[in-house]
Every structure is written in structure tokens, then in C-alpha cells.
């Protein structure tokens, strides 16, 4: 969704103000739970993200965040084999270890935690995971799951997601499809589906899902699943916020027709919508804008830079913090 002016932003927000008021008010009520797509997972309406644990947050801070979230009724957390970010060989897997330590120390029953994780998609630079580029083929997916189970000290994963596709798609801030980047060696949809079915039968995962995926990808995975007799993906985890709404066009229709759940990440646009970067020419030391290559271009130099002051003014005028409204 493109916005042409600050006036258009305010007008669009006014239309949804009543709904936003209701959502913020609901935050003071007991947690509610929703079935995730076609799965049997009843997940809390808030899922706890974990990608800073082991880099920006210590294990103790991770435990404090987990305990606070579970006290408020959260039962769903999302990690990844590559966390924390930025992904490095030195820190890879620390987030999982923080989670395992909390579950053991807090004596948290395994069935009280819906545990989601992710296997890396194709990346030629991430050579430390499995002695070469990460690829979503059978051998690497199985190796990823076995390593995650070991770090998390559990015998199963509730939701395994493909972090980003094996095939070329525009990712992480890029929006235009570049045909010159298509590859002949992409792993087939069938091979990826078959290994998910194999892991489900082995009891290592209960369900599987997608992330940073397109309408074509969701529909093709569902079609191949039906052809091979493998359960369909139950969720898609994509970036979604007031400043990133492209999924409202084609992806919503695909998910509704295929009964696929939606897990939006970065609802605050990496903190931009909170207002904490307002007026800053350079990112604060230790912030994601400083640590993550490309974040400045992706979030602060996008349409956010022109609309953020108007958005924050509007939030204040109707009695909300930016984080509350977002």
C-alpha cells in the first residue's frame, strides 16, 4: 500500500481508529488464544520474538522476558537456528540455549510452550551452519532440525518454518522481482514438502510453515502437499506493519482460501513507529539500526522517513503511544 501524503496517512488511520482503540483496550484483558491455520495449535494472540537473546540481551534478560510473557498468558515463542541476529558463527544458536536454560530453570512443562523455530533458506554466505551454503534440501533440513532439538533440549518442535525461500524472491526490503537472479539449481517444492512429511512422521515436528513467502509460494506448496499426501503449511510469517502492508493484496486471499495462519513480524517497523529514532541522524550505539546491515535503508530511509512525523503526531492527538497504535 503506497501513501501519497501525510494527509492520506491521517485519513487512513482515522478510518481504523475505533478498531485500534479496541485492540489497545483488549491488552488489559486476559490473553485470548486462536487456532493457528489448519493446525491443532491454540496459540496466544501475542507470540514472543527471541532474535536478540545472546547478542543484545543476556540469558538472564531472556529469562526475565520469558517469565513476564508467560505470566501474562503468552504460550507461543518463535526462534530460529540462526539466532541471535546479526547471524554470525560465533553467536549462532545462543538464542536456543537461552530458551532451553529458562525452560529447565523455571521448570516450565514442555506442553505449556508452543515452540516455533526456523531453518535457514538459501544463502551462499552462511557457510558455518553445515559446511557450505545453507540450502533447503532434505539433508540440510534434517540436520537443522536435529541440531535445534539438541540445543533446545526437547524431543519435538511444534512449528518448523522455512525462514526464507530456497528459490530467488525479493527479500528484506527489496520489492521488485529481478528475473536475472532466478536460479536453475533451486531445490524443488516436492523435495521440501517430502522432508517436512518425513519429519512429521518421525515425530520431530508437529507442523510446518513458511516465512518471507509470496502468494505463489504458498499456493505452490499447498498444491504439492495435496499431490504428495503431506500436511499443508499451517502459517506464513512475514513483515507487516503500518508501513509495510503489501501482504494485504494477494497473500491474504491465498491464506484465507488455504486456511493458512498469518504471523506478522516487525509490527513496529524495527522500532521506527515507536518514535525512538525520531530526529536522529545516526542510530544509537548497540541498536538494531547500527548492528544490522541494511536496516537503515530498509526502515529509516523508506516511506517511514516522510510519514513518521505525521504518524507520531496523529498517535499523540488521539491519546496513543506509537507502539500502542502500531
**DSSP assignment string, 93-153:** THHHHHHHHHHHHTT--GGG-EEEEEE---BSS--TTTTS-B--SHHHHHHHHHHHHHHHT
| Phi, psi at 144, each rounded to 5° | -65, -45
CB-based contact 244:269 (threshold 8 Å): yes
Among 259, 265, 214, residue whose Cα is nearest residue 237: 265
Q: Please state the domain count of the chain.
A: 2
Final residue before a domain boundary, out of 220, 240, 267? 267
Q: Which residues contact 75 (CB under 8 A, 6 or more apart)?
A: 33, 43, 44, 112, 113, 114
Q: Are residues 85 and 230 in the same domain?
A: yes
Q: Is residue 12 part of a domain?
A: no
The secondary element (H helix, E strand) that includes residue 235 is strand 235-239
Could you give the C-alpha distances from 242 to 15, 64, 195, 267, 307, in angstroms and in order? 13, 29, 36, 7, 10
Q: Are residues 293 and 180 in the same domain?
A: no
* Host domain of residue 280: 270-325
CA 125 to chain centre: 21
Q: Are residues 198 and 306 in the same domain?
A: no
Q: Are residues 315 and 250 in the same domain?
A: no
Q: Are residues 282 and 255 in the same domain?
A: no
Q: Is residue 16 part of a domain?
A: no
Q: Which of 33, 83, 168, 265 is catalytic?
A: 83
Q: Are residues 164 and 123 in the same domain?
A: yes
Q: How far apart are CA 67 and CA 99, in angstroms?
A: 11
Q: Are residues 248 and 275 in the same domain?
A: no
Per-residue confidence (pLDDT) for residue 29, from 0 to 100:
77
Which sign, positive or negative, has the C-alpha torsion 223, 179, 270, 49? positive
Q: Are residues 316 and 170 in the same domain?
A: no
Q: Are residues 195 and 182 in the same domain?
A: yes
CATH number of the domain enclosing 86: 3.20.20.100
pLDDT tens by residue, the chain, 326 residues: 333 333 333 333 333 333 344 444 445 679 999 999 999 999 999 999 999 999 999 999 999 999 999 999 999 999 999 999 999 999 999 999 999 999 999 999 999 999 999 999 999 999 999 999 999 999 999 999 999 999 999 999 999 999 999 999 998 777 789 999 999 999 999 999 999 999 999 999 999 999 999 999 999 999 999 999 999 999 999 999 888 889 999 999 999 999 999 999 988 877 777 777 776 667 777 777 777 666 655 555 554 555 556 666 666 777 777 677 66
Examine the residue annotation and report whether 177 is marked as an active-site residue of this protein. Answer: no
Q: Are residues 290 and 170 in the same domain?
A: no
Could you give the C-alpha distances from 60 to 57, 112, 138, 242, 251, in angstroms and in order? 8, 20, 36, 32, 38
Q: Is residue 22 part of a domain?
A: no
Q: Is residue 152 part of a domain?
A: yes
* Burial category of 194 from C-beta neighbours within 10 Å (exposed 0-12, middle 13-18, buried 19 and up): middle
Q: Is residue 206 part of a domain?
A: yes
Per-residue confidence (pLDDT) for residue 308, from 0 to 100:
57
| Phi, psi at 21, each rounded to 5° | -60, -40
Amino acid at each position: 500500500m503506497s501513501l501519497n501524503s501525510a494527509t492520506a496517512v491521517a485519513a487512513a488511520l482515522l478510518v481504523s481508529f475505533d478498531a485500534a482503540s479496541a485492540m489497545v483496550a483488549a491488552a488489559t484483558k486476559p490473553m485470548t488464544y486462536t487456532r493457528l491455520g489448519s493446525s491443532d495449535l491454540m496459540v496466544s494472540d501475542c507470540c514472543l520474538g527471541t532474535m536478540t537473546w545472546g547478542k543484545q540481551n543476556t540469558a538472564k534478560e531472556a529469562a526475565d522476558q520469558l517469565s513476564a510473557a508467560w505470566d501474562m498468558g503468552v504460550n507461543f515463542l518463535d526462534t530460529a537456528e540462526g539466532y541471535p541476529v546479526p547471524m554470525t558463527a560465533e553467536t549462532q544458536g545462543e538464542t536456543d540455549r537461552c530458551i532451553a536454560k529458562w525452560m529447565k530453570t523455571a521448570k516450565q512443562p514442555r506442553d505449556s510452550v508452543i515452540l516455533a523455530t526456523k531453518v535457514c533458506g538459501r544463502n551462499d554466505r552462511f557457510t558455518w551452519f553445515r559446511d557450505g551454503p545453507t540450502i533447503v534440501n532434505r539433508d540440510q533440513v534434517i540436520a537443522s532440525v536435529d541440531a535445534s532439538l539438541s540445543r533446545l533440549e526437547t524431543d519435538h518442535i511444534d512449528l518448523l518454518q522455512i525462514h526464507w525461500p530456497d528459490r530467488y524472491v525479493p527479500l528484506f526490503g527489496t520489492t521488485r522481482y529481478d528475473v536475472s537472479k532466478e536460479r536453475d539449481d533451486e531445490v524443488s517444492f516436492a523435495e521440501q514438502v517430502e522432508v517436512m512429511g518425513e519429519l512429521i512422521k518421525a515425530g520431530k515436528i508437529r507442523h510446518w510453515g513458511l516465512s518471507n513467502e509470496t502468494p505463489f509460494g504458498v499456493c505452490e506448496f499447498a498444491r504439492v502437499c495435496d499431490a504428495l499426501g503431506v500436511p499443508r503449511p499451517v502459517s506464513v510469517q512475514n513483515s507487516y506493519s503500518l508501513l509495510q502492508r503489501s501482504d494485504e493484496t494477494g497473500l491474504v486471499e491465498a491464506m484465507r482460501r488455504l486456511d493458512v495462519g498469518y504471523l506478522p513480524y516487525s509490527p513496529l517497523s524495527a522500532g521506527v513507529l515507536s518514535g525512538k529514532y525520531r530526529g536522529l541522524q545516526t542510530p544509537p550505539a548497540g541498536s538494531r539500526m547500527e548492528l544490522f546491515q541494511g536496516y537503515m535503508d530498509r526502515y529509516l530511509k523508506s516511506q517511514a522517513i516522510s510519514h513518521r512525523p505525521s504518524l507520531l503526531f496523529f498517535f499523540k492527538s488521539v491519546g496513543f503511544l506509537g507502539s500502542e497504535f502500531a
